[in-house]
Amino acid sequence: MKFDYKNSGTIKLFVQHYKGHLGLFSLDMTCALAVSAIDLLFPYFSKRSMELFLPNYMFKTFFTVMAIFVAAYLLKACLYYIITYWGHRMGTFIEADLRDELFGHIEKLSFSFFDKNRTGQLMSRVTNDLFEITELSHHGPEDLFISCVTIIGAFCILCTIEWRLALIVFAVIPCFVIFSVILRRKMAEKSTQVKVRTSEINASIESGFSGIRTAKAFANEDIEMEKFRDSNKKYLGAKKDYYKIMGIFGAGMEFALSLLSVLVIAAGGYFIMKDSMNYIELVTFSLYVSTFISPVRKLVAFIEQYMAGMAGFKRFLEIMRTDPEIEDKPDAIILENVKGNISIKNVSFSYAPTKEDEEAPAVLNNINVKIPAGSCFAVVGPSGGGKTTLCHLIPRFYEVSDGAIMIDGVDVRDVTQHSLRQSIGIVQQDVFMFAGTIRENIAYGKPDATMDEIIEAAKRAEIHNEIMEMPNGYDSYIGERGVMLSGGQKQRIGIARVFLKNPPILILDEATSALDSMTEIRIQSAFDELAKGRTSIIIAHRLSTIRNADMIAVIDDNKVQEIGNHTELMKKGGQYAHLVEAQTIASGSPVTFAEGIV
């Protein structure tokens, strides 16, 4: 079911999530109504029994009625089991729906969103915040319904006993309402602050655990502990403020409810003195006041749940109302039969400005490059020059600020992102490994791949032999982020993914940077084989790996400074030649600019 998160109000959106679970909701409310009826009927029939059966010595009938109520309260216990079990299941189903929506929406958001949000904070949105919504979605309607039915029913019956005393009791209700309204806003504000601090703690934990090896390497465990303690203190402060407001609310409600009992006894005693009420009616009235107090307490609990649940739901809506910066056009076409002609026309790019910067500096400025299908295009230059950013623009990880990128004459903005990225294989400098087995990580390039295909991809990536030496071969567990693998092994598994995907366009972002020289030579020959008939874009710091590229572009200072093949650029003696010279001197090998020999 789709929801209009942009135009619908918070309460409407919350209620709409019950539509998929109306059966359980109806069961929950029916049981709640039955519980309220039992609570309302007991004082009334107790009064009638004491008035009719006891004075007329109808003891058998009296105890029969009492036995019926024992059975009724046994039924009430069963109803509460249904409310607790199936009601919580309904809440869990709604929580799962919300989490599914939230995760799916986050998956659609652009790279820029993740640039601005920490992983731990997003995890808090998907876990902690939604748990509060579960409690509200289950207990909220149930408690509100039981409370309203019981209070209204009790008021009607109390009026039949002594209407003046009933009015005194219900005169206290406006005090409850006014008191609740005054503190409601403060509780909502403090509850939201608690959510924010909780997400900060989760972010601190995630960062601390992810960077534990770096922290230990620098002997900075104390610094990380101090960071966590700082987040923990802020969380404690937010909780303290929230519980302070909640304490004032609870104390005020307890005083009002206790005062209510005193008012009933005092007023009831007065009416007895005036012979307008008898002791049986006062006892019955007191029973109904107890019945009345119970739903009031539920309303108090509901207000607390409502504040916490709505704070979580509003944070859920913040994400759901965040649009991806990059979306498919309504008439976007599917990119098919890709040959691999890439044209970069007058492309400029800047990241979105931050609060501190009114205008973000340009990362790329007026880039013009044509990459013929099946050719090898290399990008070199100093770090921070824009090489990786240029390659991120081709699969639309970011959107160009100006200009256009064309594949086979079609603007990448006119095709679906899925079909575009299906046509591009990427091996990044920092290869991400999922917690799981080697087989699962290689198969990520083609989820329905056979074992033979996975093995063939591993062989071509020069990693098969090492895998077979591991205890469980392809079923060996590699740990969180591939912590049980070396840097070179992780990178070769990333390369195997691309071999398995077999795309028409390749982007290799420092794909061999973590490999030793001998392995790099083997991988390079495998890349040469894979690149046959495909368009390859290579970002490289080791210039020896791109000597045979059809075209090399030097990007520096946000612009293409030089472009040509290796021999042409060496003869030119410009920036590329100086980069080659610097690396050659570092390696101790001779270089001749005129001949282009390295």
SS3 (DSSP) at 197:
helix
Tens of pLDDT along the chain (598 residues) come to: 677 787 788 888 888 888 888 888 889 888 888 888 887 777 777 777 777 777 777 888 888 888 888 898 899 889 888 888 888 888 888 888 888 888 888 888 877 787 777 777 777 777 777 777 877 887 788 788 888 888 788 778 777 777 777 787 777 767 766 776 677 667 767 777 777 777 777 777 766 666 665 666 666 677 777 877 887 887 788 778 777 877 877 777 777 777 777 777 787 787 888 777 777 777 777 776 776 677 777 777 777 778 778 888 888 888 888 888 888 888 989 998 889 899 999 999 887 765 555 566 678 888 899 999 989 999 988 877 788 888 889 989 888 889 999 999 999 999 998 899 889 888 877 778 887 888 988 888 888 889 999 998 888 888 898 889 888 899 988 877 777 887 778 888 888 888 888 889 988 887 666 566 676 676 676 677 677 778 989 887 777 778 888 899 998 888 888 899 888 888 888 888 888 887 777 655 544 434 333 3
| Cβ 374 vs Cβ 338: under 8 Å | no
- What is residue 595's predicted lDDT score, i.e. its pLDDT? 39
Residue 298's closest CA among 257, 260, 263? 257
Comparing CA positions, the residue from 346, 342, 353, 334 lying closest to residue 400 is 346
Instruction: Please report the domains of the chain, with CATH numbers, ordered by start residue.
Output: 10-320 (1.20.1560.10)
- What pTM was estimated for this model as a whole? 0.68
- Report the pLDDT value the prediction gives residue 210, as an integer from 0 to 100: 65
Rounded Cα gap, residues 444 and 229, in angstroms: 38
Q: What whole-number distance in Å separates Cα of residue 575 and Cα of residue 592? A: 15
Q: Which tokens sit at 234?
A: 């802020």
Question: Residue 333 half-sphere exposure, CB side, CA atoms within 13 Å?
Answer: 8
* Residue the block writes with tokens 């748990």: 131
